[in-house]
Structure 1
Amino acid sequence: MELRIFTEPQQGASYDDLLRVARTAEDAGYGAFFRSDHYLKMGSVDGLPGPTDPWITFAGLARETRTIRLGTLMTAATFRYPGPLAISVAQVDQMSGGRVEFGLGAGWYEAEHTAYGLPFPPVRERFERYEEQLDIITGLWGTPLGETYSFQGKHYQLTDSPALPKPAQARIPVLIGGQGVKRTPALAAKHADEFNLPFVGIDFAVEQFARVDAACREIGRDPAEITRSAALVVAVGKDDAEVSRRADAIGREVDELRLNGLAGTPAEVVQRLGEWRERTGISRVYLQVLDLSDLDHVELVASEVAPQLRS
């Protein structure tokens, strides 16, 4: 099982904070550094110094890291037009030497749209736009050099686009996730290299992965082509006191984290991840690290948890 680091910068982080975590994760051997795409804090934190844009962040990290992969859970389709977004992501992929992974979601947090003057259509329209964006972005990247790309949809129209620039990778991995029981699995079957379930229980994950598998079979795709992953908040310590300190630092209760996330000693967390792997078939976990000043936490999981998952 591969472990990745997942951050929520809108809760309060500068670019330099993210760079420190990304470099620590890279040196510790994590597979990837991911971040959310939000423009407004959530909860009682002050959110200072304010939000950062993921693709500007990754442009910097692309040049200041060497090997770690970089990606979003999830870029919001409501924030950007698909053509310029395809250009930005492809450019960052070039800048990183082919280390980008692209998670795209429909967008859900209305308050951040209101705060920054962004349209927030009803859910049906948001999902329609999301579907079209996936078609357009992957279509632009996949158009052979020298050919053009056109698209006529309900919300977006492209005519004779040169479909440039191209990513460094032959195919940027596309991540899709979510709890929708019909359209989301169908969209994953069509586009996803990875299907991610953030902050859900094991029972629901089993059911949702089964829906994605069924949607794949409906279109003649092998479900095994889609990597299964989960995102879980983490609070690991060498002893109960350290676990409690880390839970307190992020405003969570240890017992609640044991139930809904990953909390405990390394041995306890390994056991919990083993249960996830056995029941759901996941091969990748995104560890939601909320205290970005606690680099020892990142290193502890890498040294005490990750080796046991590889054995």
Structure 2
Amino acid sequence: MDLRIFTEPQQGATYDDVLAVARATEDLGFDAFFRSDHYLTMGGDGLPGPTDAWTTLAGLARETSRIRLGTLVSSATFRYPGVLAIQVAQVDQMSGGRVELGLGAGWFAAEHAAYGIPFPAKRFGILTEQLEIVTGLWGTPVGETFDHAGEHYTLTDSPALPKPEQRSPLDPSRAGVPVIVGGGGPTRTPALAARFAAEYNQAFPEVASVPGRIAHVRAACVEAGRDPETLVQSVALVLCVGRDEAELARRASAIGREVPELRANGVAGTPDEAVERLTWLAAQGVERVYLQVLDLADLEHLQLVAEQVAPHLPGA
């Protein structure tokens, strides 16, 4: 099972704060460092203010050497798809081919209002076209052009440059980066994942719902004529682990959460409890877990998981 560290810098973090967590992620042996793509805090003052996701990842691309890097998830409302394709391809080149793109429809209306970003009521069609365009631009052979005429975007005679360093997981003959699609809907989102994604992510689900959602997206793959085994199954869950109850309570308090709630639907409790939760997820078909780290200053938390949880997981 891959363990990835996932952060929420909009809650209040500088680039240097994020860099410290990314370096710890790499040094401690985790698979990847991911961050949210948000511009407004969801509680508290958010000082010193947000950092842009792809600007941050560009910096981390040059200051790390092994870990995968990406967003969980970028909002389709934030960037034109042509611009996003250029940004992601460039950061992939800067990292030597270590970037992944999580892309979603966007949901946080307040951050759009705060920064003057349009927030259409209907966004699923926008997301679908963005996935078509971004993957289409990357996959267009060098020397050919890309065109798209849709309801939301029109591209004419695009040179479809630059190309990512990586090859598309869905078609290794073409350039591309792994795309992550996630959501809880039973029909439309699984269909999008089956069509475009290398990975399907469940973000903070009730743990009991995980097997059913996996079944939905696997069925969508079959309906689309795709082998379900080619789609990585992942979940994102909040992390809160302590050596004893006092340390656990301290970490829960630091992120403003209650221990019983974290134990119910997070990777939380003692190291043994965390191993039990992750082992159960693996048995349901989950191959990758994003551990949401909310206290970016608590690097000892990551060390505890690396030393007392990760070595005891399936396939470790």
| Class of the TM-score when normalised by the shorter of the 2 chains | over 0.9
Q: Equivalent residue for 2:3?
A: 3
Letter in 2 for 1:158: L
Q: Residues of 1 paired with 2:2 and 2:188: CA distance?
A: 28
Q: Does 1:30 align with 2:34?
A: no
1:162 equivalent in structure 2:
159
Residue 281 of structure 2 is aligned to residue 285 of structure 1: no
Deviation at 1:203, TM superposition (A): 2.7
Match of 2:302 among 295, 298, 301: 298
Displacement of 1:202 in angstroms is: 2.6
8 A contact 1:83–1:137 mirrored in 2: yes
Q: Over residues 199-228 of structure 1, what are the superposed CA-to-partner deviations in whole Å (9 max), with x where a residue is unaligned? A: 112332211111111111111100010000
Distance 1:214 1:181 in 2: 10
1:100 matches 2:90: no
Match of 1:229 among 228, 234, 240: 234
Letter in 2 for 1:210: A
Counterpart amino acid of 1:241? A
Separation (CA, whole Å) in 2 of partners of 1:74 and 1:303: 28
* TM-score (norm. length: structure 2): 0.96
Q: Residue 7 of structure 1 contacts residue 34 of structure 1 at CA under 8 Å; is this kept in 2? A: yes
**1:87 corresponds to which letter in structure 2?**
I
Give me the whole-angstrom Cα distance separating, in 1, the residues matched to 2:20 and 2:108.
28
Mapping for residues 202-213 of structure 1, pairs under 5 Å: 202-213=207-218
Percent identity reads 65
**What's the CA shift for 1:240?**
1.2
TM-score when scaled to structure 1? 0.97
The 5 Å alignment of 1:18-57 reads: 18-43=18-43, 45-57=44-56
In structure 2, distance between residues paired with 1:146 and 1:266: 53
Give the whole-Å Cα distance in 2 for the aligned partners of 1:247 and 1:277: 25
SS of the residue corresponding to residue 123 of structure 2 reads helix
What per-residue deviation string (whole Å, max 9, x for no partner) do you get for residues 74-120 of structure 1? 00000110001100000000000000011000000000000000111
The aligned residue for residue 171 of structure 2 is: none
Does the CA contact (< 8 Å) of 1:25 and 1:299 recur in 2? no
Q: What's 1:138 paired with?
A: 135
Matches of 1:237 and 1:58, distance apart in 2: 30
Unaligned runs of 5+ in 2: 169-176
Match of 1:58 in 2: 57
Cα separation, 2, equivalents of 1:183 and 1:15: 36
Q: Structure 1, unaligned stretches of length 5 or more?
A: none
What's the Cα RMSD here?
0.8
Task: Select the residue among 170, 174, 185 that pairs with 2:190.
Answer: 185
Any idea what SS the aligned residue of 2:202 has? strand
SS in 2 for 1:287: strand
* Equivalent residues of 2:136, 2:146 under 8 A apart: yes
